[in-house]
Amino acid sequence: MSPIDEQHPEEAPEVSEEAHEHAHDEHHGEHEESFIWKYVFSTDHKMIGIQYGITSLLFLAFGFALMLIMRWQLGNPGQPVPFIGGLLGQANAPGGVVLPEFYNQLGAMHGTIMVFLGVVPLAVGAFGNYIVPLQIGAPDMAFPKLNMMSYWFYFLGGVVMLASFVAPGGAANSGWTSYPPLSVAVATEGQTYWLIGMVFLITSSLLGAVNFITTIVQLRTKGMTWMRLPFFVWSQLVTAFLLLLAFPPLEAAAVFQLMDRVLGTSFFLPSGLIVSNQILQVAGGGSALLWQHLFWFLAHPEVYVLVLPAMGIIAEVIANNTRKPLWGYKPLVYSTVFLGFMSFIVWAHHMFLTGMGTVMNAFFQTTTMIISIPSVVILTALLLSLWGASIRFNTPMLFALAFLPMFGIGGLTGLPLGLAPADIHLHDTYYVIAHFHYVVAPGTLFALFAGIYYWYPKVTGRRMNEVLGKIHFFASLVFINGVFMPMFLQGLAGVSRRLYDGGATYSHAQGVLEWNAFMSNSAFLLALAQLPFIFNFFWSIKMGKVVDSNPWRATTLEWVATTSPPLGHGNFETVPVVYNGPYEYSVPGRDDDYLPQNVAVQEG
Amino acid sequence: MEIPYTVEVRPDTGLYNAKMGIWLFLASEVMLFGALFSTYIILRTGNPDWVQHSMNVPLATLNTMILISSSVTVVMSWASLRLKNFARFRMYFTGTLLLAGGFMVVKAIEYNQEFSQGLFPWSDNYMGIYFALTGLHGLHVVGGMVVIGYLLGPGAKMWRTAPEQYVNRIECLGLYWHFVDLVWIFLFPSLYLL
């Protein structure tokens, strides 16, 4: 209080009343611009997280639908697609029968949408945005406006990608990897859309990555030391570094390919290239291999962008439902950081068949074998965390438990692909499809489902229905294996991953051909298995069981330092102070079986 | 709750948020230009028929001088502001903007000369790389000019309302500007001299 106020105490109330009214006006002003600023152009990390979540779930559903059309064609070649066949357009599917050109578009866009518009925005944009500031005790992300821009660049990128379906000649059709010369010299107009869309998405993830790292480094609350960070935050930190440093080379590559397509340069086009029996009229002298290097320099770290947040979610769910500290928190952290570093020097194991030479092959085989070590450490630590626990088998935990063997299958089947001699046989077969889908679909996606069921009460204050959740889990587990397990057999038999008829015209595919219908039917049943989830997701918003602020009896700050759903801007009533590690479950000598991070324990 | 460390420095990291952010952004820029330069090296060494045109070295030397001078003025403007001398700050900062504009004018003259000689991005891969690298660098200069213009014009209000934060903004812009300068220091020899 200033001396003037002390001298004239009678004036003080007037001043404060004016200030109060002023504050009220401000509040009122905020209220009036509410809807659009609160729900559309929000700068609150929680709302942006929800925006990311809803948008990415819609894109996941869309990408899944593209796959269902492909699976229909593979399971029933030449048959018109039921129900939606008429909507696909005469140019793509006359009479509902998918044309080969359209099949290629579906393949390219399924991959692009699932990776860049579905899984990463859900894992990083949604879960990262919503959970990380709460878990480290921060009032928001460090740069709220950048956060909003990041979402809208993502949204724009998504719109451009969707618009490419109605571009002349249809969407990009050169695979999600867009290898030139195919993508430059032959591809449709949609490829240009794809490149522009990618530039938007790269910008979005750059803004997001800067924001995440700054937030985690700068905004950790008092007492939140590095070794007290929940493992989920560590996984998001390493992920953000991968996004920050691996995406720019793809941006450079996208600019070069855009110039090749629009300006007629030839960065990726060698001299004397013959397309449709004619020599291509470009200056030439470029290198098609260069694109692959630039692309995989991003796309291999991208694999870890897909899987690290998933591991983070799994760690949270497992620690919470085993009621024990994680087994080996520090090895988990060090492995994750090491994994992040190594992921920058393994990219060319995607390119053993390009003829880049045995020296390069030997180097990248070695680094690939080395990077499998931290992955195994992480998986082993999570597995050993289960040992001797009395496990609560709720829906998030079921998904987390399924993640371990599913990701294990995905990881172990990757080893033969990382060794050039085995890769010569397996390259570009269905074995590769099976391998990375085990990592991403029953791996990462199951972890994301675990995260949705686990943090749903945080966002809504209600739990999702357990019965529907378990139906969703068991049906998904069975059918997703029905989709991907036979692909290993087809791949080992040598069936190429890009065949429009599923290999019907190849004699070496005849022995494994009958699996096509089985896998397709599994995929359709997998789609049905998502209906309980979709219903549950919406129904529980209004009808789910109301729960208290910490329904899982968790220790981390997002549950113990604020209500569920959390407060608006600012997150916390008072700044939380952290005294304990993240997973202090079943501490001996305590009545509760959990010790929140913000509760101080008396010594002795 | 306000977001902490937007202006003041966090003791254990020694940074305010925006400075951390700009350094991370520059790290990502290093990777972007790293990929661009790598592409240049790979294409040039991998092509036995590579044609290296002789570009206008005098004009490029002039541009190098201009950019280095602008790096000096941007530091001087930040230092003046730290000494609370707003008039001097505005002089140096306007100088930076003018130098940046001068750089772009010289660049435009150069591009025009090349077009008139029939040299276009699609002529060969040297020209392609030349236009891609200098074009992207030019975009960075223009981006910097937009921010400088904003901080000189409507953004300068902040000097009265939140002087600490305003000085921070100038510092972050300065870091970015040095980076743009540094990229040119690599572009000049590798495109014009080698």
| Selected residue of A132, A136, A146, A218 to mutate for chain B interface (largest B Cβ count, 10 A) | A218
Quick check: A347 contacting B, CB < 8 Å? no
Decide if A510 touches B, using CB distance below 8 A: no
- In chain A, what residues touch B46 (CB-CB under 8 Å)? 287
Residue A135's Cβ-side half-sphere holds a number of Cα atoms within 13 Å equal to 31
pLDDT at A81: 94
Q: Which of residues 128-167 of A touch B (CB under 8 A)?
A: 138-140, 142-144, 146
Across the interface, whether the CB atoms of B24 and A285 are under 8 A apart is answered: no
CA distance A556 to A136: 9
Token pair listed for A577:
């102070």
> Which of A30-34, A511-515, B87-91, B164-168 is the least confident region?
A30-34
Residue A220: the pLDDT is: 96
B17 and A214: CB-CB below 8 Å?
yes
**Any chain B CB within 8 A of the CB of A355?**
no
Q: Roughly how many angstroms between the first and final C-alpha of chain B, as a whole number? A: 56
Is B20 an 8 Å CB contact of chain A? yes
pLDDT digits (tens, 9 = 90+) for B126-153: 999 999 999 999 999 999 999 999 999 9
Question: How does pLDDT run across A447-482, given as a tens digit for each residue?
Answer: 999 999 999 999 999 999 999 999 999 999 999 999
Q: What residues form DSSP beta bridges with A275?
A: A278
Q: Is B125 on the interface with A (CB under 8 A)?
A: yes
B132 has a chain A CB within 8 A of its CB: yes
DSSP A347-402: GGGG-GGG---HHHHHHHHHHHHHHHHHHHHHHHHHHHTTTT------HHHHHHHH
Which of B35, B49, B132 comes nearest A249 by C-beta?
A: B35
Q: Does B12 touch chain A (CB under 8 A)?
A: no
pLDDT at A576: 94
Contact criterion met (CB below 8 Å) for B35 and A253: yes
Q: Considering CB atoms only, which of A217, A247, A265 is closest to B121?
A: A265
Residue A256 at interface with chain B, using a CB cutoff of 8 Å: yes
Whether B157 has its CB under 8 Å from any CB of chain A: the answer is no
Residues 6+ apart with CB under 8 A from B139: none
Tell me the per-residue pLDDT of A542-591, one tens digit each, with 9 for 90 and over. 999 999 999 999 999 999 999 889 888 789 989 999 999 999 999 998 98
Looking up tokens 């999702």 gives A464
Judge: A285–B47 Cβ closer than 8 Å, yes or no: yes
Question: How far is the alpha carbon of B42 from chain A, nearest alpha carbon, in Å?
Answer: 8
The answer, for B50 touching chain A at a CB cutoff of 8 Å, is yes
Chain A residues inside the 8 Å CB shell of B136: 255
What angle, 0 to 180 degrees and rounded to 10, lies between the N-to-C axes of helices B57-82 and B163-187? 160
Bridging pattern class, strands A278-279 and A274-275: antiparallel
Tens digits of residue pLDDT in A96-137: 999 999 999 999 999 999 999 999 999 999 999 999 999 999
Alpha-carbon Rg for chain A in angstroms: 26
* A175–chain B nearest CA distance, Å: 23
- Separation of alpha carbons A282 and A288, rounded Å: 14
Identify the CA nearest to A136 among candidates A232, A206, A55: A232
Rounded CA gap, A380 and A326, in Å? Answer: 11
Distances from the Cα of A416 to the Cαs of A45, A145, A281, A295, A360, in angstroms?
A: 42, 45, 41, 22, 17
Rg (CA), chain B: 19
Encoded tokens for A39: 């729900």
Total residue length of chain A: 604
> What is the distance between the alpha carbons of residues A143 and B5, in angstroms, rounded to a whole number?
11
Q: Name the pTM for this structure.
A: 0.93
Residues A337 and A331: their CA atoms lie apart, in Å, by 10
What is the reported pLDDT for A568? 80
Q: Is B175 on the interface with A (CB under 8 A)?
A: no
Q: Find residues 206-245 of chain A whose CB sits inside 8 Å of chain B.
A: 206, 209-211, 213-214, 217-219, 244-245
| Domain spanning B17-48+56-193: CATH superfamily | Cytochrome c oxidase, subunit III, four-helix bundle (1.20.120.80)
Q: Give the chain A residue nearest B14 (alpha carbons).
A: A218
Contact B31 A218 (CB under 8 A): no
CA-based nearest distance B97→chain A, Å? 25
Beta pairing, strands A462-463 & A278-279: unpaired
Flag whether pLDDT at B5 surpasses 50: yes
**Both structure tokens of A38:** 């609160």
Enumerate the residues of chain A whose CB falls inside 8 A of the CB of residue B13: 217-218
What residues of chain B lie within 8 A of the CB of A360, using their CB? none
| pLDDT for res A281 | 87
Domains of chain A: 48-271+281-560 (1.20.210.10)
Regions of chain A where pLDDT drops below 50: 1-30, 604
Please name which of A344, A354, A236, A241 lies closest in space to residue A288, comparing C-alpha atoms. Answer: A354
